[in-house]
Amino acid sequence: MKILVINCGSSSLKYQLIDMDNESVLAKGLCERIGIDGSLLTHKPTGKDKYEVTVPMPDHKVAVKLVLDALVDKEHGVISDTSEISAVGHRVLHGGQYYSDSIVVNDDVKKVIRDCFDLGPLHNPANLIGIEACEASMPGTPQVAVFDTAFGQSMPEKAYMYAIPHEYYDKYSIRRYGFHGTSHSFVSGETIKFAGLDPEKAKVIVCHLGNGASVSASIGGKCVDTSMGLTPLEGLIMGTRSGDLDPAILQFICNKEGKDINEMLNILNKKSGILGMSGVSSDFRDVQKAEQQGDHKSIVAIEAYEYRVAKYIGSYAAAMNGVDAITFTAGVGENDGIIRAAICEYLGYLDVEIDAEKNKTRGEKIMISTPNSKVKVSVIPTNEELAIARETLALV
């Protein structure tokens, strides 16, 4: 069975075609600048040369058609006909409180995705466009929605409720949802297997550290808390997002600078975080280079980033009354041993001990804790596309 995985952004479409018999990637690619001049399709079939073409893509429907044409192309394709695609799995950002699991798309599912536009204004409209484009190009092929917020639906009320008047929850479903859920679900499950833990009782903390970053706590693979909230702005310091702060700061700056709330949220989402603190870049490599050259703001930015992650780990160890394993994943988590080591230096009270040599490994599944460490610490590359494909396969 072959599953096509689609992840639509407002002007992009990422895809992978996966053979679920052995979970191998047959082809993957990216459509960029959809609806913008200079639209580009990059298609990489496994075992063949990369294929790039600049072609107009006025909308996602045209992009989906180009992807399907590339997959069946005589020279660059990997299948003879689109009928070989058994189902399409779509990454959908926000399912609100309606869905705690993936689901085969029907009219009701599309209505929920549409109803959640306010909660995911950048992603949900594009996700729905991608679903409808695939329906038009592949009539009769099952479409499955895999919600990024589904993992957080198992959180208890004490973890997801905000301390604001309850009427706002009743009226607008304002609560903590959490994001990166597909990644957290996949990596927490892989951690349990890799570390040989009890699948029913394992207490796992996953640190998804990239330009966007979040931490989750799970027991037996079920989320009990996660750092992002109503939106991905809450929680850790990120590449351009502020993470946690005193909300009164918004009013203070608005009054001082003559800005409105929309301008302030744009600043907190796109001009803050590592970029805002360092004044150098949102790319950790650039900021670390400046840090090594003695730039004070860059030093503080990296230290604050590490400190915030360590605080969340500590709070989740308390919330679960213990922790069996801590796993690092995503771009920074998988590749930056210096940041991993700095975070783990805060965890002496948990008797965490890191093998310095193993911690130098980049982008590979590896146990980086020593045999003496009371908490197992590992690096496990995330694979959201495979997780979406597995969810899709289970439903169809």
Active-site residue list: 148
Residue 215 φ then ψ, to 5°: -125, 140
Q: Which helix (H) or strand (E) holds 89?
A: strand 85-92
What is the CA 379 to chain-centroid distance, rounded? 16
CB burial readout 293-317, b (16+ within 10 A) else e: eebeebbebbebbbebbbebbbebb
CB burial readout 233-253, b (16+ within 10 A) else e: bbbbbbbbbbbeeeeeebeee
Q: Judge whether 191 and 378 are in contact, CB under 8 Å.
A: yes
Q: Which residues pair with 308 in a beta bridge?
A: none
Long-range pairs for 167-176 at CB < 8 Å and ≥24 separation?
A: 173/96, 173/97, 173/119, 174/230, 175/97, 175/230, 176/152, 176/226, 176/228, 176/229, 176/230, 176/234
Q: Which residues pair with 31 in a beta bridge?
A: 13, 41
Q: Classify 217 as helix, strand or coil.
A: strand
Which is nearest to 110 in space by CA: 133, 87, 82? 133
Q: Classify 182 as helix, strand or coil.
A: helix
d(CA 68, CA 79): 10
The first and second tokens of residue 299, run together, are 């030093």
Question: What's at 216, amino acid-wise?
Answer: S
